[in-house]
Amino acid sequence: MDIGKDLVAASATPLVLAILSEGESYGYAIIKRVGELTRGELQWTDGMLYPILHRLERNGFIEASWGTSEIGRQRKYYRLTDQGKRELEQHRREWNVVDAALRGIWHSELNLALQDG
Amino acid sequence: MKSTNTSVRVEERLTIEDRIIQWREHLRRHAAISSVDVEELEDHLRSQINTLSEAGLTDDEAFLVAVKRMGDLNALSHEFAQEYSERLWKQLVAPTGAGEHSSGSLRDALAAVGFAIAAGVAVKLPHLFGVTFDGSPDDESFYIRNISLLVLPMLAAFLAWKRGMDRVGVMKVAIPFLAAGLLMNLIPFVQLGSTEILAALHLPMALWLVCGIAYMGGNWSSHTQRMNMIRFTGEWFIYLVLIALGGGVLTGFTVFTFQSIGLDAEWFVQTWLLPCGVAGAIVISSWLVEAKQSIIENMAPVLTRLFTPLFAILLISYLVAMLWSGNGIVIERDLLIGFDLLLALILALLLYSISARDPMAPPDLFDRLQFLLVISALVVDVIALVALSKRISEFGFSPNKVAALGENLILLSNLGGAALLYARFLLKRGTFASLERWQTSYVPVYLVWAGFVVVLFPFIFNFQ
């Protein structure tokens, strides 16, 4: 399934923040986690994750530090800040509203369809 | 069998490593993506390749898939540019992403400020001995003879320090300064006479070239270094003009703000801010040129491109107007100096277009335009000289006239030689490099002439 560009863009920030709320992580692992969570249905262009991470870092929602990877290369790790936790909470409330609304309407559509049938 | 197998694998690993390096270099060319970001993206690419290889893809396949997933680099660069718009504006004073150089550049900046302060102090040093700006003709005469000797040693010292010159190199710079200092104060000039003023005007020119020796790290015979020094001079001048503009605004506000509370700051501006500021700016400009060398495109060649066609139009329409109206050049006393300045300007336009040109490139339209400019300047100057030659004896051979005439001939022969070499280049009989070499070989002529005016003119003209 192809998810539209706008929805991919809109969901990127809460997804990244939510994944980082599970613990410190780095770019490649975040992309992999997105793949797992959506069973490969949400495909990001890998490179595009980085401008998003850097914007979140600049806004103070996440902070970065350099560490080393398992093969000894330099790797940049990201961690959620307190401000980022509040931001994630805000996103969660917004998405819940949208989610509830859509579920509600689709649920009633389903009921109507069942009644008609 | 096993050994050939491993050698094949080694070869494969090499090529994938090469391809990653290629990819990285390609990424580096995007200004919006800093070297730190490149590191991060490369780590991602390598992780992706590893995962794919483990899943059974060959290295080549893994590389291709990983690059594809990374996305189009131009689009990526565009995203980065939106996030980091400031990166597209090259930062001079606070370079970003060059962590390893920053301590060196901070050290340079501190040294530059130190030498600039020293230059500012040096200008005021004679005040300790009762020699002031607003003093007698004695003081005025002292200052016009010595001002460049007070300021330029600081510039030379900064450049020598920057180049890490050895003792022999330092001597090459220090001895001319010492000699100039002795001569300017031992030659019995008639106070504020022509020879004294001419010496004061030519001394900075000579000392600038001595500073050039420091800039070249003492390696004055290298033509490449001389061309670098010419580039440096142009950029330095542009920075000085820019600093002067800012300084003018600062001065204006200094006077204005203090005036508004009924205090007069003009004396401060004239005796402190202006002289010390100019002295400091001379050093600071040189530091800015050094610091930005590889960061920003050179400005002088850009201005040259802009003004060469305009000056060519000016000179040609001037010649046409002269022919059409039948008017000869009106001979006035300052005529020669005006034409000297014109030739110097044309020479500057020529020099700075040479300095930025790829010597291997074939002649193009701009070269023809430049050639036209030089030829028309030569024609104009020769007409002026012919007109003057009849009258030159009437004016008598005053120091000023001889100096102006000498300068005219030096510039004329430079441009004449340049025109000849340019013509050969345009006709594909010569190389552009020979034109470049002609200019760099000519640099010592200016030093010799300036030295001649400073040292021998007073004796020839009886110190008048």
Q: Do B79 and A27 touch (CB under 8 A)?
A: no
Say whether both B203 and B322 belong to one domain: no
Number of domains in chain A: 1
Q: Do B39 and A27 touch (CB under 8 A)?
A: no
Count Cβ–Cβ pairs < 8 Å, chain A vs chain B: 62
| Listed residues B281, B296, B311: the one ending a domain | B296
Say whether both B281 and B185 belong to one domain: yes
Label residue A28 by pLDDT band (50, 70, 90).
Answer: very high
Q: How many whole angstroms separate alpha carbon B176 and alpha carbon B67?
A: 61
Whole-angstrom CA distances from A68 to A31, A72, A77, A103, B293 are: 19, 5, 9, 44, 35
Chain A, nearest residue to B36 by Cα: A76
Query: Would you list which residues of chain A are within 8 Å, Cβ to Cβ, of chain B?
Result: 26-28, 31-32, 45-48, 50-51, 54-55, 58, 69, 71, 73-76
Say whether both B162 and B289 belong to one domain: yes
Residue B366 Cα, gap to closest chain A Cα (Å): 43
Say whether both B35 and B161 belong to one domain: no
Most confident option among A113-117, B95-99, B188-192: B188-192
Q: Do B83 and A55 touch (CB under 8 A)?
A: yes
| SS3 state of residue A23 | coil
| Listed residues B245, B275, B296: the one ending a domain | B296
Q: Answer whether residue B462 is part of any domain.
A: no
Number of domains in chain B: 3
Query: Would you list which residues of chain B are within 8 Å, Cβ to Cβ, of chain A?
Result: 37, 39-41, 43-44, 46-48, 50-51, 69-73, 75-76, 79-80, 82-84
Q: Do B69 and A58 touch (CB under 8 A)?
A: no
Note the pLDDT tens digit of each residue in B274-308. 999 999 999 999 999 988 776 666 788 888 989 99
Say whether both B247 and B316 belong to one domain: no
Q: Answer whether residue B456 is part of any domain.
A: no
Q: Cα B233 to chain center, whole Å?
A: 3
Label residue B178 by pLDDT band (50, 70, 90).
Answer: very high
Say whether both B108 and B245 belong to one domain: yes
Say whether both B304 and B283 belong to one domain: no
Note the pLDDT tens digit of each residue in B445-455. 999 999 999 99
Say whether both B142 and B224 belong to one domain: yes
Burial of A40 (0-12, 13-18, 19+ CB in 10 A): exposed
Give me the residue from A45, A69, A76 closest to B71, CB to CB.
A45
Q: How many whole angstroms separate alpha carbon B338 and alpha carbon B201?
A: 16
Residue A73 Cα, gap to closest chain B Cα (Å): 7
Say whether both B247 and B325 belong to one domain: no
Query: Residue A86: which CATH number?
Result: 1.10.10.10
Q: Do B83 and A76 touch (CB under 8 A)?
A: no
pLDDT at B59: 87
Range of the domain at A71: 5-116
Q: Answer whether residue B443 is part of any domain.
A: no
Q: Answer whether residue B440 is part of any domain.
A: no
| Averaged pLDDT for residues B222-234 | 90
Q: Answer whether residue B96 is part of any domain.
A: no
Q: Predicted ipTM?
A: 0.85
Which positions in chain A touch B80 (Cβ < 8 Å)?
50-51, 54
Chain B, nearest residue to A51 by Cα: B80
Per-residue pLDDT at B14 exceeds 80:
no
Chain A, nearest residue to B47 by Cα: A28
Structure tokens at B52: 């794919």
Burial of B214 (0-12, 13-18, 19+ CB in 10 A): buried
Say whether both B202 and B338 belong to one domain: no
| Listed residues B264, B296, B328: the one ending a domain | B296
Q: Do A48 and B76 touch (CB under 8 A)?
A: yes
β-strands A62-68, A25-26: how paired? Answer: unpaired
Range of the domain at B65: 2-88
Chain B, nearest residue to A69 by Cα: B43
